[in-house]
Amino acid sequence: MANGRKPHMTGQESKELGQRLFEERQFAAATRVLAEAVEHFPNDEPLWQELVFSASQSEQHESAVEFAKSAIRSHPRSGWLWRQLGKELTSVDRLDEAEKALNNARTLLGHSDDWLWRYYAALHKKQKNLEREILAWENLHDFGYANSNDLNSLGIAYHDHKNFAKALEFYRLSAATEPSVAPLFN
């Protein structure tokens, strides 16, 4: 450090520091360090997942898209990476690309992945396609993964679709699943 600069971390050091920051939920800092670590470990899929997730959690959605695309080049059969790419593309309003990514994820993950249906619902909501949004929430419910918030969102979608009886059904189910004021307000 005679020249006043910090010594450069090894790949292993950057991986360990990035993972520690990730575990501590310091996602912005983790993103910077993990981006360096994946250069040393491009075949480490969990490391890529931590990088993409960290970028997403720190609101760096454009970066998360690029990280996910880079990761998919090394791991094209990763349903998680495709699903997360779809989520990130939805966040940056690249909706056609998002739908393709989510469709790839569904091919790899199958139909019963709970986060996949939540991401489809978010995509269809941004597309202002109530029928498809309702279908995504219904699929989540049919597979038994819908939590109280999901059921409330399904009720809202039915309400917006002017199907008030179905909206009430899901508001009640949401309230019965977990005590909360949101479904009671609706």
pLDDT above 80: residue 92 = yes
26-54 pLDDT, tens per residue?
A: 999 999 999 999 999 999 999 999 999 99
pLDDT at 7: 55
pLDDT above 60: residue 184 = no
How confident is the model over 60-73, as a mean pLDDT?
A: 98
Which token pair is 17?
């520091």
More confident residue, 114 or 178: 114
Q: Alpha-carbon distance 13 to 66, whole Å?
A: 23
Question: Where is 94: in which H helix or E strand?
Answer: none
How confident is the model over 67-90, as a mean pLDDT?
A: 97
pLDDT at 1: 38
| Residue 88: closest CA among 122, 61, 113, 52 | 61
Say if residues 35 and 15 touch (Cβ distance below 8 Å): no
pLDDT at 98: 98
pLDDT at 177: 87
| Residue 184: closest CA among 136, 157, 148, 160 | 148
Q: Alpha-carbon distance 40 to 36, whole Å?
A: 7
Q: What is the residue-averaged pLDDT of the chain?
A: 92
Q: Alpha-carbon distance 88 to 103, whole Å?
A: 14
Question: Where is 46: in which H helix or E strand?
Answer: helix 45-57
pLDDT at 186: 58
pLDDT at 3: 43
pLDDT at 4: 43
pLDDT at 78: 97
Phi and psi based region of residue 147 (left: phi greater than 0; alpha: psi -120 to 50; beta: remaining): beta
Which pTM does this prediction carry? 0.87
Give Cα 104 distance to the centre of its chain. 14
pLDDT at 5: 39
Q: Alpha-carbon distance 178 to 147, whole Å?
A: 8
